[in-house]
Structure 1
Amino acid sequence: MKKIAVLTSGGDAPGMNACIRAVVRTALYHQVEVVGIYRGYNGLVEGDFTPLHSRDVSNIIQKGGTILKTARSKSFLDYEFRKQAFENLQKAGIEGLVAIGGEGTLTGAQVFSQEFGVPIVGAPGTIDNDLAGTDFTIGFDTAVNTALDAIDKIRDTAHSLQRGFFIEVMGRHCGDIALWTGVGGGAEIVMLPEVETTIEEVVQIIRGMLEKAKTSLIIVVAEGDPLGNAQILAEKVQKFIPDFNFRVTNIGHVQRGGSPTAADRLLGSRLGVAATEALLKGHRCVMAGEVANKIVLSPFETCIKGKKEQPQDLLDMMRILSL
């Protein structure tokens, strides 16, 4: 290959810039030209390309977000627009693509590659940590630390005012942010999409803690919990325990922003190098991930459809340490 491109798609994640930087400088190291595609697959459809050189990615490793911008592309769902995207790549002489993003990004890459034969290698950029084929996704560690900082502050006021707080974090289908934040923040209860819990069980746990003279509680709720979001859960519990004061905080999109942690800078760099070198070696429709501290390449289909089990040791820790 003489020329490749890189894009970021879907939700932004801290560490994406580290990954972009690694892709660009790895390609240049191998004497391959690099083109940046703005706004994900929208930019691919519209031909919004720009050449990237080594200095273009200087001073970005510490920045949140993505210098290439990102989007959730509806047009790319249409074959005619994907065909237009392919023609744009041909006109620009681009022979391969590194796609940084989550499940939707890899799904689009798989379809596009199969239809038009474009070699594509992915890098897992999503705070949700919901892709198989890697222990951690780029942005997850930063999101956990951001949520943890908020919970530490909320616990101060919960303790002072003797209240219970339902704190909602991101995670529609994967509860990793909630679980890791809950354990790290000393939460009493964590509500996850993967673990079904009845409202009666939640009420029983809270009553038991109050009977043990606990005067403040932290309940971390993943947004995709089957019983509902933090607001809904708080209202349900309040009806059963009317004499204790509950409040709700939704940490929201602050989890996506901010300077990436050292872990995310290292992971983004490592997977950016791995994805680029895999592409140059002829791999396609695979994602570069890190499993047990080793780089692995997994088929897109495995990463998208593979079920990522919640670590049982952390679930057990929650029950033990919340007494």
Structure 2
Amino acid sequence: MECSENSQTNMKVTCGEAGYVLEDVPHLTDYLPDLPTFANPLQFNPAYSVVKQYFVNVDDSVAQKIVVHKDSPRGVHFRRAGPRQRIYFESDEVHACVVTCGGLCPGLNTVIREIVCGLYHMYGVNKILGIDGGYRGFYAKNTVPLTPKVVDDIHKRGGTILGTSRGGHDTSKIVDSIQDRGINQVYIIGGDGTQKGASVIFEEIRRRGLKVAVAGIPKTIDNDIPVIDKSFGFDTAVEEAQRAINAAHVEAGSIENGLGVVKLMGRYSGFIAMYATLASRDVDCCLIPESPFYLEGKESFQNTDLKDASGNKLLPDVGLWLSQKIKDHFSGQQKMVINLKHIDPTYMIRAIPGNASDNVYSTLLSHSAVHGAMAGYTGFIVGPVNGRHAMIPFNRITERQNKVVITDRMWARLLASTNQPSFLNSKELAEVQKEEPQTPTQLVDGGKF
């Protein structure tokens, strides 16, 4: 039964027995009710002849919370991703496009490749365009025809063959371009800012009554997108970050009074730093945005009010600031000469191709997006929730950021590993506990403790 609908987000919410809640994603038939359906060609695909169950049941859903008490309500669920028995696009009818926005991330080319190959090999789609240079490419640049041959080996390269940019979002111009080109499936790869833009594009498409499916593939190397277990590129980033930590450890241990400072990505979320620290076991102190820390007195690290084209704050370089403070402390107060090595591997990590784990994960994300769009779903992003791939409404992943919970056991494990102080007194800790959501820190393997 339909129990409510959010008037601001138009999110469909279906309620069931025992506190079951389905936060559903939009469908083309919500505003185009008379669309015809077609048999899914996957059932005739020889590669899938060994599959015991071709299609996902239309009523399958994925629970957001899997650790419950015997009397707990079933809670929030999301529609399970995967191929449906009936689809809303014929193969010859599909004219798809793919766009990458925001910063670089390992695995971007893999996602592009698998969207193209998934559409071509699973659904027989031949018309696929790459939008050059992010959102502004819809109206300011040429498109790139994408075929399996064009994308054959791009997963072995870092970056994105389509180019990317921040900003450039002009909803009216973008949707005009989609309409003028006859595009009816839009695959948008990007972080929370990009997906906010994708949500606006979807709303404008729905307002115009166009038969266009909009699917988002969440991209953030920081792992700061909520709801999903992790974002693609994160495993690669943690693996590569360990190389920088190891280099700093070797440098510090090879010279008298040696110190190593490594700055890793994580504008507001410290997942890369936390997991790289736990994996390396060579770190003596790990500082993350979620955990306030102090050096001496009340002097603080000053932020600016400047923003980039995506609306993100331009933050000063905390690595350089911290390195200078350490040097000043030892040269001024301790009268000691130290050898400090500051390593910032940010752009080296962003630019590499995804590792094996991320390549497989990127494939699953891409195929989930393709299956969803072909089945007529729109206005959604894809990702694993407790290990099962689901389709999630745009607003759920843009309403907040995923952050390390410093009252969680995973952060406690890090403190035990490094033997560093928590920097929080009892009063500050109580305040943090009030503010933090009662959800555990997400783990790399998708599980939770």
TM-score surpassing 0.5?
yes
> Offset at 1:248?
2.4
Cα deviation, residue 156, structure 1: 0.8
Q: Which runs of 5+ in 2 are unaligned?
A: 1-88, 207-211, 298-312, 420-449
SS of the residue corresponding to residue 107 of structure 1 reads helix
Q: Which has the higher contact order (CA 8 A, sep 6+)?
A: 1
For residue 187 of structure 2, the aligned residue among 84, 98, 101 is 98
What is the percentage of aligned positions where both structures have the same residue?
27
Q: How does 1:306-321 map to 2 (within 5 A)?
A: 306-310=400-404, 312-321=408-417
CA contact 1:142–1:261 (8 Å) conserved in 2: yes
Please give the root-mean-square deviation of Cα atoms over the aligned residues, in Å.
2.2
TM-score normalised by length of structure 2:
0.62
Q: CA deviation at 1:200?
A: 4.6
In structure 2, which of residues 139, 155, 161 is the aligned counterpart of residue 61 of structure 1? 155
Matched, 1:232 2:325: no
Match of 1:300 among 351, 376, 394: 394
Which residue matches 2:351?
Answer: 257
Alpha-carbon distance, 1:306 to partner: 3.2
Structure 2 residue 288 is the aligned partner of structure 1 residue 192: yes
One of 251, 256, 261 as aligned partner of 1:166:
261
Off by >6 Å, runs of 4+ in structure 1:
none
Tell me if structure 2 keeps the 8 A contact 1:46–1:85. no
What secondary structure is seen at the aligned counterpart in 2 of 1:50?
strand
Larger mean CA deviation between 13-22 and 238-247 belongs to 238-247
> More displaced, 138-147 or 243-252?
243-252
Kindly tell me the number of residue pairs found equivalent between the two proteins: 295
Aligned partner of 2:145 in structure 1 is 51
Identify if the C-alpha distance between structure 1 residues 227 and 195 changes in structure 2 by more than 3 Å, giving closer, same or farther.
Answer: farther
Q: Which has the higher helix share?
A: 1
2:131 to 37, 48, 57: 37
Q: Check the 8 A contact 2:229/2:383 in 1, yes or no.
A: yes
For residues 231 and 47 of structure 1, do their structure 2 counterparts lie closer, same or farther at Cα, with a shift above 3 Å needed?
closer
**Per-residue displacement from partner, 1:36-72 (whole Å, max 9, x unpaired)?**
1111112112252232222111112222111111111
Q: After TM superposition, list the pairs within 5 Å mapping 1:108-119 onto structure 2.
A: 108-117=197-206, 118-119=212-213
Structure 1 residues not aligned, in runs of 5+: 202-223
Moved more, 305-314 or 282-291: 305-314
- Distance in 2 (CA, whole Å) between partners of 1:49 and 1:244 is 57
CA distance in 2, matches of 1:240, 1:231: 14
Deviation for aligned residue 1:291: 2.4
1:172 to partner: Cα distance: 0.9
CA deviations over 1:242-297 (Å, ceiling 9, x no partner): 33624422223112011211111011111000011111112222110112221021
Mapped partners of 1:304, 1:238: distance in 2: 40
Distance 2:106 2:325 in 1: 35
Q: Indicate the residue corresponding to 2:365 in structure 1.
A: 271
